[in-house]
Amino acid sequence: MSEPSAIPEQCRYVAVDPESHHLKIEHGPMPTPRAGEVLIKVHSAGLNRADLLQRKGLYPPPEDASPIMGLEVSGTVVALGDQVTSWQVGDRVCALTHGGGYADYAVAPIGQCMPIPNGFSKGEAAALPEALLTVWHNLFQRAGLQAGERVLIHGGASGIGTLAVMICSALGARVYTTAGSDEKCQALEAHGATCAINYKTQDFEAVLTELGFNNKIDVILDMIGGDYIQKNLNLAAPEGRIVNIAYMNGFKAEVNFAPLLMKRITMTGSTLRAQTFDQKSVMVEEILANVFPLLENGKVKPLIDSIYPLEQAEQAHAHMQSGQHMGKIILKM
């Protein structure tokens, strides 16, 4: 391992009290990059709903992952593990971690590291890794979204949703989305959505049917589940593809699957964390080729809702839990 002497022996991180589940700052040993990994001095970390679940004990990390929360970071490479030749100490980087992002230092596999796009601050770059890989894998690798197709993105105001709206629009899809307020809907339309529907005041299935799009939505990205499952099947076009990435309204629903048979619909789903480093490396390679040009020419830029210091991680979680945010919530070291 190549390691500058300036790195301290211990670093701060966010810990979860096992009884109260409150968050607190603790100090622990400096993480050490293994072969094929880099050590990053973290500038900022992105929040994800997976962090809220992990905090409650509902989404335990894999056995080989850091027990510390935090799936994406931005910062500076400060040490290299063995066999790392593609990165140098001092490089600006954003990365999908294998846990451990809520800390002053974190390690990441080099296949999950990306350069910070030109024109991006480190804070903005922390909003990219998890959302980019989730959007690319589910909409383009799994669902095979093509230019000219209609895509319905639920949870459009989330960090994943806002980036998905912009990427799909920039790559030529016609984007429809749902969000929880008129203000959020107006913002999503300003960022590329053809039509954004306030799910709190309107039935998205009825609105899209009235617009003439019943049986005409080619791809649906759903993180809601529950009663959305049936509505998605009803709206999907023949040969349509529905991808579930979460079930915020519940995993269970009474569903009439006749549309799946009659329209030859493909239903699939995924989580990012369970996939191998090799699979994620392929996602990163394709993102660098297909999405990074859109980031660097300004056509796609993540929306940052708010930035909290590391010491206020609990307040940041409460803000995400409230559902009031629009875009990404960031922790700054």
d(CA 56, CA 74): 25
Is 236 within the bounds of a domain? yes
Residue type, 118: N
Strands of the sheet with 150-153, listed across from one edge: 195-198, 174-179, 150-153, 217-222, 236-244, 266-269
Average pLDDT over residues 239-244: 98
Is 53 within the bounds of a domain? yes
| β 72-80/92-96 pair status | antiparallel
Q: Each residue of 309-319: pLDDT tens digit?
A: 999 999 999 99
Q: Each residue of 263-297: pLDDT tens digit?
A: 999 999 999 999 999 999 999 999 999 999 999 99
CATH of the domain at 36: 3.90.180.10
DSSP class of 2: B
d(CA 27, CA 8): 11
Dig out the tokens for 39 from the structure: 């050590």
CA dist list (Å): 78 to 105, 106, 109, 111: 9, 10, 14, 17
Q: How many of the other CB atoms lie within 10 Å of CB of 84?
A: 20
Is 39 within the bounds of a domain? yes
Is 205 within the bounds of a domain? yes
Q: Each residue of 73-119: pLDDT tens digit?
A: 999 999 999 999 999 999 999 999 999 999 999 999 999 999 999 99
Residue type, 75: G
Share of the chain above pLDDT 70, in %: 98
Residues 316 and 234 in one domain: no
Give the count of domains, the chain: 2
Residue 208 phi/psi, 5° resolution? Answer: -70, -35
- 257 pLDDT higher than 80: yes
Is 214 within the bounds of a domain? yes
Average pLDDT over residues 43-66: 94
Residue type, 305: D
**Can you spell out the DSSP letters for 189-220?**
HHTT-SEEEETTTS-HHHHHHHTT-TT-EEEE
Cβ(217)–Cβ(154) below 8 Å: no
Q: Each residue of 153-184: pLDDT tens digit?
A: 999 999 999 999 999 999 999 999 999 999 99
- The pLDDT-based confidence of 2 (bands split at 50, 70, 90) is very low
Among 269, 289, 314, residue at a domain's last position: 269
DSSP-derived 3-state class of residue 305: strand
pLDDT for the residue numbered 1: 52
Dig out the tokens for 111 from the structure: 């296949």
pLDDT for the residue numbered 5: 46
CATH of the domain at 214: 3.40.50.720
Range of the domain at 237: 132-269
The pTM score is 0.95
pLDDT for the residue numbered 8: 87
Q: How many of the other CB atoms lie within 10 Å of CB of 287?
A: 21
- The pLDDT-based confidence of 7 (bands split at 50, 70, 90) is confident
- 4 pLDDT higher than 80: no
